[in-house]
Amino acid sequence: MARNIHTPGAGPSQRQLRVGELIRRVMSDVLNRGEVHDPDLSSVSITVGEVSVSNDLKVATVYVMPLGGGDVKAAIAALARNKGELRHRVAKEMSLKYAPDLRFRPDETFDRLDETRRLFADEKVQRDLRADDDEE
């Protein structure tokens, strides 16, 4: 039995990153093609921003956001209702030993980006940046 030698807190392995990206692509394609027949999913375009995979590749956390910032909770609820079908489609497209369990979470990347922009626009931060440029 192979043991996972990946140390916690060191970040994902190359395999986790590769599998996560493959799942992200498959999920995006399935949602864009409207292969899941649910009116709640058909009525909104959903962006799959990232997929993180557990060390054993059995759990995939899918970070999603409705295009245009629609109702995130409704989109996640619709995805969760159709989790079995989505999992089946992911397994069909990929050659993994196990189809990972899918968990859906809101993609907060854009919120963090807005907060970062707000921080860089702050007068104190701008003053510190100018001071650093003057020192060089």
CATH number of the domain within which 37 lies: 3.30.300.20
Helix (H, G, I), strand (E, B) or coil at 34: coil
Mean of pLDDT over the chain: 84
- Token pair, residue 135, equals 């020192």
122 assigned to some structural domain: no
pLDDT band, very low/low/confident/very high, at 7 (cuts 50, 70, 90): low
pLDDT computed for residue 2 by the predictor: 43
* Res. 29: pLDDT tops 80: yes
The total domain count for the chain is: 1
pTM for the structure as a whole: 0.74
pLDDT computed for residue 129 by the predictor: 75
6 assigned to some structural domain: no
50 assigned to some structural domain: yes
pLDDT computed for residue 9 by the predictor: 63
Q: What mean pLDDT do residues 41-50 have?
A: 88
Domain containing residue 30: 14-107
* Res. 132: pLDDT tops 80: no
Buried b (16+ CB within 10 A) or exposed e, 99-131: bbebbbeebeeeeeeeeeeeeeeeeeeeeeeee
d(Cα 83, Cα 130) in Å, to the nearest integer? 50
7 assigned to some structural domain: no
Q: What is the pLDDT of residues 48-90, one digit of tens each?
A: 999 999 999 999 999 999 887 778 899 999 999 999 999 999 9
d(Cα 134, Cα 106) in Å, to the nearest integer? 41
